[in-house]
Chains A and B, each alone.
Chain A
Amino acid sequence: MDIQDRPHVLSYFQLTVVLVILLALTGVTVGVSYIHMGFFNVPVALAIACLKVTFVLLFFMHLKYEGRIIVLSFISTITFLIIMIGFTFWDVAFR
């Protein structure tokens, strides 16, 4: 196995940068919500949420530094989630 025994330690600086990005993105979502974009309101809000979640997963949850098993099983879960939400919504929207 190529997984290190000693876990990777994130520096305080890295964590602070991630926090600042997350807080900035929160500001952006709130700001954008005051602009009327019609149909695009929800997709834009969700896109920003996905970006924020990516930062939390990669750095706070350490996913960037995990071994293959955790990364692959995580991707499988998200794929399943996309199928579950996507296909169900597809059915409802185009029935």
Chain B
Amino acid sequence: MRAEIDRVGIKIGMWLFLYSEIILFGGLFVLYAAYFHKHPESFAVGGKELDRVIGALNTVVLLISSFTVAASITAIQKGSRKLTIGLLGFSIFCGFIFLVNKYFEWGAKIHHDIYPNSETLVNGEPGLNIFFGLYYVITGLHGLHVIIGMVLLSISLVWVLVGKIDGSKISMLDNSGLYWHLVDLIWIFVFPLFYLVL
């Protein structure tokens, strides 16, 4: 008897999970919209505090890594194993760069006494406090997703190395890729909402 792999079923399962993620971040964006409506000036002030160069750099890093993940799936299907390994390694490296940037960004904010429950925020404008509260929750949750995505890509990389993923069995790589693209999707909205509001 031959065990059939239900590729479509595996993919539908992954997409169902992604829908729940979309709604999770959607809920946070509702909060953002409602408070933005209430405190537009404070949100503009808060947005100017954020470094749009680092934000743009991180956007570029994530877009490129999304491209390399998509290319690695093409590579494995075309049978070029070495290229797949290289592209996946590069994608994980991009995730790492993203997190390092985030570390410096958060570090600078915390250094300027801007973090949840800090003196500056508690005694300052309520709108600014909400803006940075949302900033830390949303970018923090997104950062957590970047870490999970890197773990999934690393597992896929190991599976390619040991031959558990090859041209005919790519579901693990495919689904890790989908997760990584979702991380990218969320960042595409986070970037203009936090860094570019004026």
* A interface residues with partner B (beta carbon < 8 Å): 1, 3, 5, 7, 9-12, 15-16, 18-19, 22-23, 26, 29-30, 33, 36, 41-42, 45-46, 48-49, 52-53, 56-57, 59-61, 66-67, 69-70, 73-74, 77-78, 80-81, 84-85, 88-89, 92-93
Contact = CB atoms under 8 A, between A and B. Distances in A.
Given A15-B71, A70-B15, A77-B22, A48 B63 contact: no
6 contacts: A19-B63, A26-B60, A36-B198, A69-B12, A73-B15, A88-B34
B30 A88 contact: yes
A57 B5 CA distance: 25
Secondary structure at the A interface, as helix, strand, loop or mixed, is: helix
B196 interface: yes
A29 B192 contact: yes
B70 A10 contact: yes
B85 to A, nearest CB: 16
A49 B186 CA distance: 10
Contact of B15 (A15, A74, A89): A74
B64 A19 contact: yes
Given A10-B74, A45-B193, 7 more contacts: A9-B77, A29-B192, A30-B56, A33-B198, A60-B66, A60-B181, A70-B15
